[in-house]
Structure 1
């Protein structure tokens, strides 16, 4: 390939320039700097300028060669296009006629308010900062005007719109009992709700079958004399994990029938990894996020145990929780994250410990000592739906929000949240923008409240007074968009919104409770007349049991079927004769029984005299048409019969 020679410096000729043109000194100096070779000779050049000129020549040669090879015309650098701004504005006005109209409306509104606002011509999309400022100014103007547009509030990301996302416009109450409700769980589909209390009872609530009375359709005691501490539906909703004060967790089906009871370990073995199960009271438990047969339990024996399958009653894995010096500490709460890669436990020593499920459970993945006050239970530990944040609730009257990417310090700490139950929990809203928790009733306060906090600004969004008792469990169902709150007086309150909430309690409140119509009972007085005539005598009144026994003995009233035949051989046919025809003749054709050894000729001739005197069957039928019978005369007894002579052929 032939390439042009690289020359150092450029030779430029001022062809258009005449020598007679006057030129100022400044212009001459500028031209001399820009084109050092104007005079036709070579001048000394800087090193940087020389390198840049060499690069320009190389790029030009390469682009020219590429153009020749590919056959592309006009390949390379082109002069920049010159745009007419006025022409572009006119085109934009033609294509967007509504822009000027909006401008004029905005000017009129501002003039009415007395504010002078300049509305600039805007062509094309605005930059992000300008859009945010424009959105804020528009929202401020709408607040001044007093417009209550719900759709704009939902779309806006302002913190004030969070209060409108809470479904609490309507309220309905369900009565579990008279004691504190410690456990609450909702079906993933939103069809049912289960609750467990300190009085050992577990209630099942079916929203499709309840009426406005809100009564549970089933109540049982699955763990005998142990309080129900925690309940949770499996991911498919067909099984319920029951955590009680016992050392053995139970798995019930959807209707409350037991399917599995975990094994109990040997309390005399010091190494807890050698036992088949827990040896102390259970504190918490949860299902695997997407494995319907695996669940996790925590107990006061210092271990967390993973159970797999309903047939095998032994645990799969044992996780030990350790304190600062390596000693044993108990886990008060435990949970999986959304993708089941982490197991988190809140311990009694105030620490938060996590383990990676893809690794060995010997060492912790995260361990935050002194996350809460030492000696107080971390009653709840919950992962956000996105999985990047973690919320903890403790009996030290605090609730903390953590970021798993920066797990050394909490993002924020909310204080003055009194709690006296070791099952008080907290939960995230379905969009992870709010954190919800309840408080126990402090001394001197009339009602316990439900608090809503923002996870971005950490400010209190809403406070709802619930009851004159303690608030223990809080459940924000993501599918129903309803809030279920359990209280210390045995009541369960459901909060919902007519617009946002679907199904659930909305199905029950519209159904009226139908009372049974009372039956009219007419009392019949009996007059005792011992000497009355039989026609007017009344039977003695008997109890319904005796009347029933009497009607039972009557074959007609009781509709008794035919009794089986006990005599004879071969069943019913053999008892009536040897063949089927004999059975038909003797039971259907004849009313009297005929013995097999009777002479049939004698049996027929027995009716000959009666048939001759009183004909019934044949003679009356042919009486009108039958000709008179002519019989041959009888010969005397002593006269012999005439012999027939023989013919010639016979001879």
Structure 2
């Protein structure tokens, strides 16, 4: 080898004689040494650009001035698209059924999604790459209560991170008990269930009916509110799960409902510059009610009886950043805008098809700084509305033909997250307007994956054994999984389940503990007569303790019966007369 060859980083390998179109050339090495592989970030981001077909405009005979006007309109429409972060997207397919709720923490690093499959998926943008768009953890909030006889699971209705720290999130399922979970999916608090046999809802310590939704206090990270089907709004302190902090009983005035109705939506907002918060809730009888956010909650500040059509589900409600405007989306195919200072009639109302008959958790949201209003539609389009007149500024298809259920617009990331009925979660962004989040994921190099990583080609997904392998039983003892799951079950399928220690078991020690730690405990299971007879012969041979009265021991004065005398014979008066 020459000096020039030794100084070079890569040594060129002569290729074998083969045709240029031979497919095997792609698998043959061309040089030795480590090869530098750099990802083409611009190409990766360009691959996520959304291909949206624009409707073709009808051709009309026009002059030069008309053509100039059309070109100006096209440029204006392109400018409108560039205003919103919808030019690119990544798609997450981690659920099996419709995605009903999405939420991001205040920092924008973690995203959680809930679905009708009763699971919560946790996604971390810092650990995902363009080839690993998946959740790092799946959580079932009711897994700890499942047993061999029951499979208790409930669809996820609403998820929401705490607004200040994001260390915990509120989990609302189709059940009377809401839960507080940590950002890693562990159940921290489970609120109590009320007494269903009490008529007065003020005397119950929790909901007695299914909870529809909930939200956090705008400034206090320990308070949250839930809306239930028992015609109540209950305010909870997450540090006290045994009883709610306040209860608001809504008395419906609709005929035939006996003063009760289902609470369908609730929002808790406050001005960003500081001020009194407001609590707004919607009911199934069409009412819209507003309370002072800090209490007291004895009577509402304002109430609208026929805000939406009765017996239609108003699932979408939100409050603007300044705390003055309220937008609602009802089941009567209407979106209405309300002013909290004149809470009597809607300022504006527009037609918008509703999907609340199939998906009651359909929502509507204000954009950051209340610059826009976003919501989905039954046709799968994302509607970005003007907050002043509710006219659409942009309508873009996300899942054509499939209802778009939930939408969220994160302030720090400047990205829009949507959940659809086809179990897809879309994260929309714009490389020029958005930061981190999906843009950070697509700026990483793809993770190299091996064919054995595909579980479709393996028999045992935990070990990675191919289907045609012959394994001796017990030969792979080192591949057993260790540890336990969150519910206490062992990860090793061959290991029996560890018995859970209950408070009753702590107060009742087992027999092994008693025999090892309590003196003379073994005498509890011995016959005292047999234990004494063991020392009968020893006592006769070596009378240590009975020697003191050996000489003075009394002599038996009773005569013993001889063998000649009949033992059965006795006095005449005691004989049985026959």
For 2:333 and 2:108, locate their aligned partners in 1 and report how far apart those are by CA, in whole Å.
32
Aligned length, in residue pairs? 373
Q: Unaligned stretches of 5+ in structure 2?
A: 1-67, 143-151, 454-469, 479-578
1:515 and 2:449 are equivalent in the alignment: yes
For 1:245 and 1:547, locate their aligned partners in 2 and report how far apart those are by CA, in whole Å.
44
What are the residue-to-residue correspondences of 1:154-303 with 2, within 5 Å?
A: 163-212=81-130, 213-223=132-142, 224-235=152-163, 236-303=165-232
For 1:367 and 1:181, locate their aligned partners in 2 and report how far apart those are by CA, in whole Å.
33
3-state DSSP class of the match of 1:469?
coil
For 1:451 and 1:543, locate their aligned partners in 2 and report how far apart those are by CA, in whole Å.
60
Residues 355, 457 of structure 1: alpha-carbon distance in 2 compared, 3 angstrom cutoff = closer
1:428 and 2:366 are equivalent in the alignment: yes
For 2:477 and 2:160, locate their aligned partners in 1 and report how far apart those are by CA, in whole Å.
50
What are the residue-to-residue correspondences of 1:318-467 with 2, within 5 Å?
A: 318-324=247-253, 327-339=259-271, 341-419=277-355, 420=357, 421-441=359-379, 448-467=380-399
Q: Confirm or deny: 8 A CA contact 1:336 1:344 kept in the other structure.
A: yes
Alignment-derived partner of residue 419 in structure 2: 486
Residues 359, 248 of structure 1: alpha-carbon distance in 2 compared, 3 angstrom cutoff = closer
Q: After TM superposition, give the deviation of residue 335 of structure 1 in Å.
A: 1.4
3-state DSSP class of the match of 1:405?
helix
- After superposition, give the CA deviation of every residue in 1:367-405 in whole Å (9 maximum; x if it has no partner): 111111111111021001121110101111111111112
For 2:250 and 2:291, locate their aligned partners in 1 and report how far apart those are by CA, in whole Å.
10
Q: After TM superposition, give the deviation of residue 499 of structure 1 in Å.
A: 0.2
Q: TM-score, normalised by structure 2?
A: 0.61
Q: After TM superposition, give the deviation of residue 451 of structure 1 in Å.
A: 1.0
Q: Unaligned stretches of 5+ in structure 1?
A: 1-142, 154-158, 442-447, 520-540, 550-651
Residues 256, 398 of structure 1: alpha-carbon distance in 2 compared, 3 angstrom cutoff = same
Q: TM-score, normalised by structure 1?
A: 0.54
- After superposition, give the CA deviation of every residue in 1:495-514 in whole Å (9 maximum; x if it has no partner): 10010000001122233132
For 1:162 and 1:353, locate their aligned partners in 2 and report how far apart those are by CA, in whole Å.
36
**Taking CA–CA contacts closer than 8 Å with sequence separation of 6 or more, which of the two structures ends up with the larger relative contact order?**
2
Residues 225, 336 of structure 1: alpha-carbon distance in 2 compared, 3 angstrom cutoff = same
For 1:482 and 1:346, locate their aligned partners in 2 and report how far apart those are by CA, in whole Å.
28
For 1:498 and 1:483, locate their aligned partners in 2 and report how far apart those are by CA, in whole Å.
13
Q: After TM superposition, give the deviation of residue 287 of structure 1 in Å.
A: 1.1
For 1:423 and 1:395, locate their aligned partners in 2 and report how far apart those are by CA, in whole Å.
11
3-state DSSP class of the match of 2:362?
coil
For 2:330 and 2:90, locate their aligned partners in 1 and report how far apart those are by CA, in whole Å.
29
- After superposition, give the CA deviation of every residue in 1:475-510 in whole Å (9 maximum; x if it has no partner): 011110001010001000111001000000112223
Q: Confirm or deny: 8 A CA contact 2:214 2:266 kept in the other structure.
A: yes
Alignment-derived partner of residue 7 in structure 2: none
Q: After TM superposition, give the deviation of residue 548 of structure 1 in Å.
A: 7.9
Q: After TM superposition, give the deviation of residue 459 of structure 1 in Å.
A: 2.1
Q: After TM superposition, give the deviation of residue 234 of structure 1 in Å.
A: 0.5
Q: After TM superposition, give the deviation of residue 327 of structure 1 in Å.
A: 1.4
Q: After TM superposition, give the deviation of residue 163 of structure 1 in Å.
A: 4.4
Q: After TM superposition, give the deviation of residue 546 of structure 1 in Å.
A: 6.0
Alignment-derived partner of residue 497 in structure 1: 430
Q: Confirm or deny: 8 A CA contact 1:259 1:310 kept in the other structure.
A: no
Root-mean-square deviation (CA, aligned residues, Å) is 2.8
For 1:290 and 1:160, locate their aligned partners in 2 and report how far apart those are by CA, in whole Å.
39
For 1:389 and 1:144, locate their aligned partners in 2 and report how far apart those are by CA, in whole Å.
36
Q: Confirm or deny: 8 A CA contact 2:81 2:87 kept in the other structure.
A: no
Q: After TM superposition, give the deviation of residue 547 of structure 1 in Å.
A: 9.6
Q: After TM superposition, give the deviation of residue 516 of structure 1 in Å.
A: 3.0
Q: Confirm or deny: 8 A CA contact 1:205 1:215 kept in the other structure.
A: yes
Residues 516, 314 of structure 1: alpha-carbon distance in 2 compared, 3 angstrom cutoff = same
Residues 198, 509 of structure 1: alpha-carbon distance in 2 compared, 3 angstrom cutoff = same
What are the residue-to-residue correspondences of 1:566-605 with 2, within 5 Å?
A: none
For 1:357 and 1:351, locate their aligned partners in 2 and report how far apart those are by CA, in whole Å.
18
Q: After TM superposition, give the deviation of residue 426 of structure 1 in Å.
A: 0.6
- After superposition, give the CA deviation of every residue in 1:437-489 in whole Å (9 maximum; x if it has no partner): 11124xxxxxx211111122432211111113110000011110001010001
